[in-house]
Structure 1
Amino acid sequence: MEHWFLLESSFGFSKRGKGLPTASRPAAVGNWIKSYRNERTDNIPKGVGGWKGFGTELLQWWRTMNPAWRTPSPDGTFYHSTEERGDWGALDVQGANGFLSVLGCLIWWHQRAAEASMIDDRWFIMNQDLDWVLKEQLKEKGITLKKPCTD
C-alpha cells in the first residue's frame, strides 16, 4: 500500500486517466467499477467466486497486462528479474483505473481464502510481485523510496 500511495501521490491522486487492460480481467472488477466503486474494497463485489478460482482469474489478468519482457513461471507468477528491463507499457497507469483495482482484487482474494481457512502461496507471491512492480516504477520516475522504520 505504501508504494502505491507514493506513486499515486506523485501524480496528485489523479481520478482520471487510462485504465489497466480489460483482457482477462475478472468480472468482479467490472462490477466494482460499475458500482462507481461505492463498495469498499473489504466488501466483496459480485463475480468473486471461490478463493482458488478467483486467484487464478487474477493471476491470468496480471499475466496478460504485464509487459512481454517479464517472464512468468509455470504457475503464472513472475520472477523478479533485475537484469532484464523494458518499457512498463500497460502497467504505467495512475488514477482510479490503475493499480487500485489490482489491490482490491488482492483484498477480495485474501478474504475468500480466509473464509475458507486456506492459505494460497500464490497470493503472497502476487502481492510481492505487485509491490516490486510499484517500486520499480517509483525508481524509474526518480521517486525516492522511504526507508523502513526500525525500532
Structure 2
Amino acid sequence: MKWDALEEEPCSLSRTVAVVGDRWTLLILRECFLRVRRFEAFQSSLQITRHLLSERLKKLVRLGILRRVPYCEAPKRYEYILTQKGLDLYPVIMAMVHWGDIHMGDERGRPLLHEHKNCGKLFNPVMVCSECGEVLHAKQVHVHAGPGRRGADAA
C-alpha cells in the first residue's frame, strides 16, 4: 500500500486517512470545530507556517470539507467554513479527543469540557448502534465484507 495512493484503496479507513491522516490537517479541523475561520487565526493558534497552512486549507477546500468564503474585498480575504462533509467529521474528532482525555491527560484533567446545548450537561462522546442505541465496544462488533470490497480474500 503506497501512502500517496491511499484514496484509491477499497478501504474506508485508508480513504479517510488520505484526507485527514496528517497532524496539521487534524489540528486545522480541531480549530474549525472550535469556530476558527480565518487564515491568520489558524496560523496564530497553530504556529504553523503560512505555506503549510495554505496547502492544507487548499486540500480541504478541494476535497469539499471546507468552503472558502470572502469576508473582505480590499484586500480580498477569505474565511474557511465547514461543509456538511466537514461537519460529518465531528464524531471522528470527538472520538480522538475522548481517547486523548482518557489516555493522554495529566493530573490537571481535561483541557476542554464539552456541553450539550440541548440538555445543558457536560458529556463524554460515545458511539452507539444506529439500530438499537446500545453503546458499542470493539469486542462486540463483527465485520462482514460489503459490496465495495475488492476480492473476497482482501483484508
Q: Looking at CA atoms only, which structure, 1 or 2, has the larger radius of gyration?
A: 2
Give the TM-score, by structure 2 length.
Answer: 0.26
Structure number with higher relative contact order (C-alpha < 8 Å, ≥ 6 residues apart): 1
